[in-house]
Amino acid sequence: MKNRNGHIKRQERHIAMHIRSVGLQFHPKPNYIHQFEMALSKFNLFHYQLNAVSCFLNRQLPKSARCLSTVLVPGEASGPSVKTTVPGPKSRQMIADLDKIQFAGSVFYFTDYKNSLGNYVVDADGNSILDVFSQISSLPLGYNHPDMHKVVQDPDNQIAFINRPALGIFPAQGWPEKLTNSLLSVAPKGHTQVNTMACGSCSNENAFKAAFMWYRNKQRGGASISDEENSSCLVNRAPGSTPFTIMSFKGSFHGQTLGCLTTTHSRSIFKLDFPALDWPIASFPRYKYPLEDHVKENEAEDRRCLAEVEEQFEIYNKAGKFVAGVVVEPIQAEGGDVHASPEFFQQLQRITKKNGAALILDEVQTGGGATGKYWCHEHFNLPDPADFVTFSKKMLTGGFYSLPEFRPQQGLKIFNTWMGDPSKVLLLEKVVQVVKRDNLLKLVELSGKKLMDGLKDLSNRFPQHMKNNVRGIGTFCAFDLTSPQKRDEAFFRLQQHGVQSGPCGEQTIRLRPFLVFQPKHADIFLDVLEKVLKEIQTP
C-alpha cells in the first residue's frame, strides 16, 4: 500500500510538473487519478473490435469515396490499448533521467517509434494510443507509413540523408526539380517563389525580413544604397537599420525566436523576461457561438477589429514606424483555435494593400491539408493571392512562398547554413503523391464532418461540461470545456483512455489528426470522449 501511495504521489507530481510547463491550468485531483488506478487494476482498458463497424461505414460512404474507408496503413491497431497509467512507470523513469540533463517537465511520455503505426503511437510502457495531436500537428501520414519507409530505403535518397548540404551555396543537382515536384506542386495561387527553412519560426523571421527589404526598396524608388546606410546598419543605427514594423494580432502565435516572439501574444509564459519590439498589435475577432445565432454581433466584431487594424496603420505610419507587413494565422491555433470569417480576411487584405504593406499568412499549423485544402486561406476566397505564405509542420520542411515582387535583390539576405534540409523535401515529395493517390484531402473532409457532427452532438448532450462553440474546418477541430480545470481533467482522462489530444488556449482541446485519420478513427475518438464526459468529476 505504501508503495502504491508513493506511486500515485509520483504520478501526481509528474502531472503537476508537466501541466505547469505546458501551461495547462491543472489543479491535481488525487481523487480521480486514484479512482483511475483502481479501475485499471480491474481490467485492461479498451480493445476495440471495429472491423464490423468499418464494413458498415464503408457501405455508408458515397461510391466515389468508398476506397477511403479501406485500410490506409496496413497492420494498424483496431483501437487504443492502455495497460498502465499514462505516462507509465518506464516513461516516468526516462523523464527523470532526462530531467537530470535538461528541463524535461514538458514531456508527456517517451515513445516507442518502432512499434507506432498509422494513427497509433505506442509509448515506452507499451500503451497504444490513438494520436489526434500528431506531434503538435506536424506528422502528415502517421507513424511508419510504408511509403515514407520506401523513400528512406531508396539508395539514391540515402545520399541526400547522409550529405546534408549548405543549400544556399551547394544544392545537389536536380534540386529545382525536387522543389517543383514537392512544394511548388501544391503552392498557393500565384506563388512561383519558394524558400526552404528549418522550422516555422525561421520561416516567419525570413518572411518578415523579405517584407522589410521590399518596403525599403519601394521607399528608395530605385536610388542606390548609400555608404551611410551601409556603415550605420553595422551599429544598429538609421538610416541603414530601419524603424519598420510588422503588425500582429492579440492571441496569435508565430514562434519563439525574438522577432517572431514580438508578434506572438498567446501566453505570457512565452514572452515573460524577453525584450520585445514596439510593433503594432490589433484585436483578432472573438465570435459568439453558435455562429448562425449571432450573425449581426459577429459582423460588428469583424468591423471592430478591422477598425483597429486601420488605426494601428495610421498611428505607426504617422510616427515613422512604417508597417511593412501584417502577419496573421488563418486560424489562431496555439491561442485556442480562434476562427475568423472569410470576410474578415478579405477586408484585412484590402486594408493591408491600401497601406502599402505585405500580407503574411502564417500557415505553419493550418497548412499541409488538415483543413481539406493544402492551405487554409484557400477557404477564404481572397480577392488576390497573399503576399507571403509561411509553412512548416505537416510540410515537413519549413519555408515560405512569396509573390515574385518579394524576391530579394541580393544574395545572403535570406540565408543561413542549411536553408532547410533536402531529405525533408524528398519525404514531402512522396507525401504529396500519397495525398493525391489516396485522395486524402477528400478523406479529411469526410472525417472532419464526422468529427464535427459528433462533437456538436456531444456538446448538446453534455452542456454542463462542453461549451456550445465546437469549431473546425476539415479535421482541424476544437471544442471548449466549461472551465480550464475541466479541460485539464478531460485532457488527462482522454490520455488514460488511450487518446492523445492537444490542449490550447485557456480551456480548449484541439484535434490535429494525421491525414490518414478515417471516419472509423473519428468514431473511436468520439466514443472515448463521451466516456470521459460521463466521468468528469470537476464541479
User: Judged by CB under 6 A, which stretch of 193-201, 346-354, 408-416, 449-457 contacts ligand PSZ?
Assistant: 193-201
The span from the CA of 438 to the CA of 433, in Å, is: 8
From 204, 186, 183, 205, select the one nearest 194 (Cα to Cα). Answer: 183
Complex with ligand PSZ: residue 245 or 392, whichever CB lies closer: 392
364 binds ligand PSZ (CB under 6 A): yes
462 is catalytic: no
From 260, 269, 346, 274, select the one nearest 309 (Cα to Cα). Answer: 346
Q: In what order do the strands lie in the sheet with 120-122?
A: 120-122, 128-131, 499-500
Q: Fill in the per-residue mask, 87 to 126: x = in contact with ligand PSZ (CB under 6 A), - = not in contact.
A: ----------------------------------------
Q: Which residue has the cell 468528469?
A: 536
Q: How many residues line the site for ligand PSZ (CB under 6 A)?
A: 16
362 binds ligand PSZ (CB under 6 A): yes
Return the H-helix or E-strand segment holding 102: none
Strands 508-511 and 502-504: antiparallel
Which residues lie across from 245 on neighbouring strands?
Answer: 323
Q: Angle 367-194-347 (CA atoms, 0-180°, nearest 5)?
A: 55
Question: Would you give the distance in Å from CA 277 to the centre of its chain?
Answer: 25
The span from the CA of 116 to the CA of 99, in Å, is: 24
The span from the CA of 200 to the CA of 103, in Å, is: 22
The span from the CA of 206 to the CA of 240, in Å, is: 18
200 binds ligand PSZ (CB under 6 A): yes
Complex with ligand PSZ: residue 23 or 240, whichever CB lies closer: 23
Of the candidates 123, 125, 131, 362, the residue annotated as catalytic is: 362
The span from the CA of 442 to the CA of 452, in Å, is: 15
For ligand PSZ, the binding residue among 201, 312, 423, 485 (CB under 6 A) is 201
255 binds ligand PSZ (CB under 6 A): yes
Complex with ligand PSZ: residue 77 or 199, whichever CB lies closer: 199
Residue pair 184/192 in contact by the 8 Å Cβ criterion: yes
Minimum distance, C-beta of residue 232 to ligand PSZ, in the bound complex (Å) = 31
424 binds ligand PSZ (CB under 6 A): no
Complex with ligand PSZ: residue 466 or 511, whichever CB lies closer: 511
Minimum distance, C-beta of residue 238 to ligand PSZ, in the bound complex (Å) = 30
Complex with ligand PSZ: residue 37 or 506, whichever CB lies closer: 506
Minimum distance, C-beta of residue 329 to ligand PSZ, in the bound complex (Å) = 5
User: Judged by CB under 6 A, which stretch of 113-121, 359-367, 416-424, 531-539 contacts ligand PSZ?
Assistant: 359-367
393 is catalytic: yes
254 binds ligand PSZ (CB under 6 A): yes
Residue 442 DSSP class: H
392 binds ligand PSZ (CB under 6 A): yes
CB atoms within 10 A of CB 456: 17
Q: What SS3 string covers 254-321? A: CCCCHHHHHHCCCCHHHHCCCCCCCCCEECCCCCCCCHHHCHHHHHHHHHHHHHHHHHHHHHHHHCCC
Minimum distance, C-beta of residue 332 to ligand PSZ, in the bound complex (Å) = 8
The span from the CA of 123 to the CA of 454, in Å, is: 28
Minimum distance, C-beta of residue 392 to ligand PSZ, in the bound complex (Å) = 5
Minimum distance, C-beta of residue 271 to ligand PSZ, in the bound complex (Å) = 12
Minimum distance, C-beta of residue 502 to ligand PSZ, in the bound complex (Å) = 9
**Nearby residues of 72 by Cβ (< 8 Å), 6 or more positions away:** 118, 438, 516, 518
Q: 3-class DSSP state for residue 45?
A: strand
329 binds ligand PSZ (CB under 6 A): yes
Minimum distance, C-beta of residue 23 to ligand PSZ, in the bound complex (Å) = 9
334 binds ligand PSZ (CB under 6 A): yes
User: Judged by CB under 6 A, which stretch of 111-119, 248-256, 421-429, 524-532 contacts ligand PSZ?
Assistant: 248-256
Residue pair 109/123 in contact by the 8 Å Cβ criterion: yes
Of the candidates 36, 337, 344, 393, the residue annotated as catalytic is: 393
Residue type, 141: L
**Residue 239, preceding bond cis, omega within 30 degrees?**
yes
The span from the CA of 521 to the CA of 50, in Å, is: 10
User: Judged by CB under 6 A, which stretch of 13-21, 189-197, 200-208, 348-356 contacts ligand PSZ?
Assistant: 200-208
Of the candidates 253, 313, 345, 514, the residue annotated as catalytic is: 253
136 binds ligand PSZ (CB under 6 A): yes
Minimum distance, C-beta of residue 90 to ligand PSZ, in the bound complex (Å) = 25
Scanning residues 9 to 48, which ones bind ligand PSZ (CB under 6 A)? none
Residues that bind ligand PSZ (CB under 6 A): 136, 199-201, 204, 253-256, 329, 333-334, 362, 364-365, 392
Catalytic center residues: 253, 362, 393, 417
